[in-house]
Chain A
Amino acid sequence: MQTWSLVSLCVLLGVVVRWGVSLNSYSGAGRPPMFGDYEAQRHWQEVTYNLPVQEWYLNTTDNNLNYWGLDYPPLTAYHSLICAYIAKIINPEWVELHKSRGYESPAHKLFMRATVLVADLLIYIPAVVLYCLYLTDGSAKKKVSTLFCFLLYPGLILIDYGHFQYNGVSLGFALWGVLALGLGWDSLGSMAFCLALNYKQMELYHALPFFCYLLGKCVKLGLMGRGFFLLVRIASTVLVTFALCWLPFLSDPSRALQVVRRIFPVARGLFEDKVANTWCSLNILIKIRSILSSDSQIYLSTACTLLAVLPSSVRLLTKPTFWQFKLALANSSLAFFLFSYQVHEKSILLAALPVCLLLNDLPLVAIYFLQVSTFSMVPLLLKDGLLVPYVVTSLAFLFFGVFLLSALEHCSEEELRLGAYHKLLFCLPKLDMACIVRWKFYISVAVMAGLSFASVALVPPPHLPDLFPVLVSTTAFLHFFGTFLYFNVVQFSGPPSRKSQKKKN
């Protein structure tokens, strides 16, 4: 069959799966007074439509910032404004100031879900298709298989179409950035990434690799010659994009500062709820939050994050190739996730995107990590009533990932780039690392299935009410940390050899 028909079938199937998930409940459904993220997005449409731009981030009588105040950069606000205009045409009650608080109806749900799908169709999905077709190697069938698995990644589907968010927009823009850089269009890439950054500030997790890659490229071209011009071009693109996005707020510096204060709330603690990063997991053994003052917590997390991200960034700076760039994206986002301040469990999606880019090159590890990332959000998904979609999409992803990408067949030591491990673990007897990885995969899947089942079916003992969320986040943390180390090792190993490339085709 021709590639175009296979590609369109994959995209259409991706759309059906997304819409199927969206038939389920969303966050905060029927739970006054605060509801959830769904209500937050609706509220932002109300605020942006009815209030002038200057007041969007200010605490006024008309805009109570304690009730889901805007805490994303301006592009989210503009997107909400566009949606609000459409909502006003369909049914003005949806965005009426104050009166529409907590508005819930089947028609409104349909509208909100449709906005997510439209955003995905315009931004995320085309980027995925173009990436898989033009920036992956292998036969046409392998590219289509990669596309299919990429589109089927459960984490993003469940959060965007279940819980309700617009991660597809920011991740989509970031992916356009990666795509452009991969094709050599550096200015466009920087512009796309700036748009991503101005949509959600968490994209900062990806900022260092973009910076190091582009800087490294400029240095390689010679800072006295072409490199300098490239640098200037990129810098001006970035500045212009930022200026355009922040235009309404630039006239008054205090206004801009208020926006910054809203999007970087440093008054909050080291972590909230149960999240699969170092601090939350460490908290089980040592109560960090009580031992250190909040300032020291900030310094500690900043220091650890910088230390964690340093090796990967320096390596990228010295070797600015696309392969290194992809790995650096994964490493940087994982480092930030594991060690940063005020990390939410949904931020794992920022690490999941770069790993999706590696589906073609390291299928087994990618599928492994992506499944764990979905699993790490189980407590959140259960709270939103998304058990059935979670089970269905996870099973589908695991099965088709392993089946279509032949993940379990392509896991020799060379293909998994485990050679470096032998050098690191020289003191231990020579082990069949590939076999170990396969068995770890099977055991992990069993453990994840067991914990998911336990979270649903079993009641935790009364003295340990958070037993299952803690177990889930700790298990996920261990996997994330292991993957982080692995990707660092791979980034420092040699580039993929020609021989292993040919074998995969």
Chain B
Amino acid sequence: MAAPVVDSWSWFPALALGVSLLKCLFINAYHSTDFEVHRNWLAITHSLPVSRWYHENTSEWTLDYPPLFAWFEFGLSHVAQHFDRNMLLVENLNYDSPATVLFQRLSVIFTDLVFIFAVRECCRCVQEQKGSRDILNRPSFVLAVLLLWNFGLLIVDHIHFQYNGFLFGFLLLSVAKHLQVRPRVYVDLSCRNDDCHIYLYVAPAYGIYLLRSYCFTQDNKDGSISWRSFSPLRLIALGSIVGSVCALSFGPFIAMGQLPQVLSRLFPFKRGLCHAYWAPNIWALYNILDKVLVTLGVRLKLLQEAELPRASMTGGLVQEFQHSVLPSITPSITLVCTLLSILPAAASIWWRPGGARGFLRCLLLCALGSFMFGWHVHEKAILIAILPLSILAVESREDAGIFLVLTTTGHYSLFPLIFTPAELPIKAVLMLMFVIYSFTALRKLHRSETSEHRLHWTGGQYLYFHKSHLKILNHFYIKAAVSSCFR
């Protein structure tokens, strides 16, 4: 067999093509109500004027993503009309002709190109050891597989049906640009995350890091903040970029005076503390504790069964409701908890930025913190933590350990999303494949390196602090995931 050229990247298109072809095989697999959601949005953006987009409610699946995503659907709808015009009629609820299914599935596969491009950029940033190395053992190769063939993305995007790959592409691209140290570009891309307000989870990381590293042009010798190096010009540049993207996105709606309506659609607090399927976060544990106490209370005759509210959290319904024994949780409580949980990470990154990888860790911690304590969190949100963690996992042994636990439990928590018997072998086998690969590849990758060498560039104690923080959150996550199995 010909010896591989050291700098050849021919394996990357092979991986990308392979996973794209695999995605095509799932075209006729089960799809969830999210399929109808997106078809409805195609119909709304195509058939109705902009002023009606956020008011339309013929279907129960109202537009609840930010305007940039609505423009994206508008763009897609122009291609959709060549496949089947009937899908663009708002009245055609639950319309799913073969052409509709084909178009929607292909649109996800096609827009994943953004994700593929972002993964390639991330792979380029990964530190590699010099010298000839077996391709399969290179950090960039392992990272490419862990990202491109990520089990969570595959089943959520290509079976359940969503556009996460497309959206995560922008997130990863901005992360990659941070790692490549390209200031202006990454600022632009950070704002693209406006596409989905779920990225508010990680907004603090971006905000604080950019403020700290971009607006303060220099650090003191020991890495602490140098107040004198503050550049108002850069702050204005940052503010104007963010402002202009927001203006572009929300502008038309502000002009029409629809901002409150848009915001109420984007942040539907009436949907309740937990989603229909519980995300494995703190509130899941809280709910279980409440239920246990109720049962105990009834058994010990401390509570009257008749007085307890009837609403069942596990009924699969999306609604607000009250806890029986423990105090009820309001959105403001969750906000406070979330902010408290990410405070250490944010403070640390302000104090000692630690470069692009410090930013990445902070992003990770913000994502995990928001996941653990947020209001109405979806299970899929764990992917915001898993994907960036992959980058750290191929570079550091400790992170790899955390990654393996987080992905295995996180991906397993996504199982209830695909509940049809026909798709059971697919999700089981894909999960098994990902577990086998991630364990064997990461173990082989980190077997030869010592921990000290890899930790050198990040600065010892802050890294340790971040890692402990991550481990604590991870610990809670596992507990929540396990307990949610018993609900």
Residue positions of A touching B, CB distance < 8 A: 1-2, 5, 8-9, 12-13, 15-17, 19-21, 23-24, 106-107, 110, 117, 138-139, 141-142, 388-389, 391-392, 395-396, 399-400, 403, 406, 409, 504-505
Contact = CB atoms under 8 A, between A and B. Distances in A.
B329 interface: no
Contacts of B440: 1-2, 5
Contacts of B28: 23-24, 388
B433 A13 contact: yes
Interface of B: 1-2, 10, 14, 17-18, 21-22, 24-29, 136-137, 421-422, 425-426, 429-430, 432-433, 436-437, 440-441, 444
B157 to A, nearest CB: 15
Main secondary structure of the interface of B (DSSP, over half): helix
Contact of A395 (B21, B26, B27): B21
Contacts of A20: 22, 25-26, 29, 426
B426 A19 contact: yes
Contact of A400 (B14, B29, B441): B14
A450 to B, nearest CB: 20
A9 B437 contact: yes
Contact of A21 (B2, B14, B25): B25
B1 A138 contact: yes
Contact of B429 (A16, A23, A106): A16
B21 A12 contact: no
Contacts of B17: 399
B16 to A, nearest CB: 11
A1 B426 contact: no
A391 B25 CA distance: 10
Nearest to B142: A1
Contacts of B1: 138-139, 141-142, 406, 504-505
A19 B429 contact: yes
Main secondary structure of the interface of A (DSSP, over half): helix
A396 B21 contact: yes
A2 to B, nearest CB: 7
Contacts of A504: 1
A396 B23 CA distance: 12
Contacts of B21: 392, 395-396
B436 A8 contact: yes
A8 B17 CA distance: 21
Contacts of B425: 15-16, 19, 117
Closest 4 CB pairs of A and B: A20-B25, A5-B440, A392-B24, A12-B433
A408 B232 CA distance: 59
B2 A406 contact: yes
Contacts of B437: 5, 9
A403 B2 CA distance: 12
Nearest to A114: B425
28 contacts: A1-B444, A2-B440, A2-B444, A5-B440, A8-B436, A12-B429, A12-B433, A12-B436, A16-B22, A16-B25, A16-B425, A16-B430, A16-B433, A19-B425, A19-B429, A20-B25, A21-B25, A23-B28, A117-B425, A138-B1, A388-B27, A389-B25, A392-B24, A396-B18, A399-B17, A400-B14, A403-B14, A504-B1
Contact of A16 (B10, B426, B444): B426
